[in-house]
């Protein structure tokens, strides 16, 4: 099981919900959620096997910043 945490500039649920749908479609075997209360507007992805770069690309393709937190 792997968990990756990303910093985003997604600010509210109106922005987050469509992204969650897109990410779930691309990564159906993962658990994905936003923590918009966090100062980094965290996106968490948990699953057996996925590529963090794919997550970043999907978010960026939809007009938002996304970077892996290390």
Residue 3: C-alpha distances to residues 17, 30, 47, 63 (Å): 20, 10, 7, 23
What is the pLDDT confidence band of residue 70, given thresholds at 50, 70 and 90? confident
pLDDT at 32: 98
34: containing domain:
2-68
Mean pLDDT over all residues of the chain? 96
What is the pLDDT confidence band of residue 27, given thresholds at 50, 70 and 90? very high
pLDDT at 58: 96
Spatial neighbors of 22 by CB under 8 A, at least 6 apart, are 58, 62
Domain CATH number, residue 54: 3.30.70.100
Counting the structural domains of the chain, the total is 1
pTM: 0.94
């Amino acid at each position: 099981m792997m968990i990756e945490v990303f910093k985003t500039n997604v600010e509210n649920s109106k922005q987050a919900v469509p992204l969650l749908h897109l990410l779930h479609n691309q990564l159906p075997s993962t658990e994905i959620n936003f923590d918009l209360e966090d100062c980094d507007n965290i996106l968490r992805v948990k699953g057996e096997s996925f590529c963090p770069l794919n997550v970043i690309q999907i978010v960026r393709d939809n007009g938002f910043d996304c970077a892996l937190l290390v």
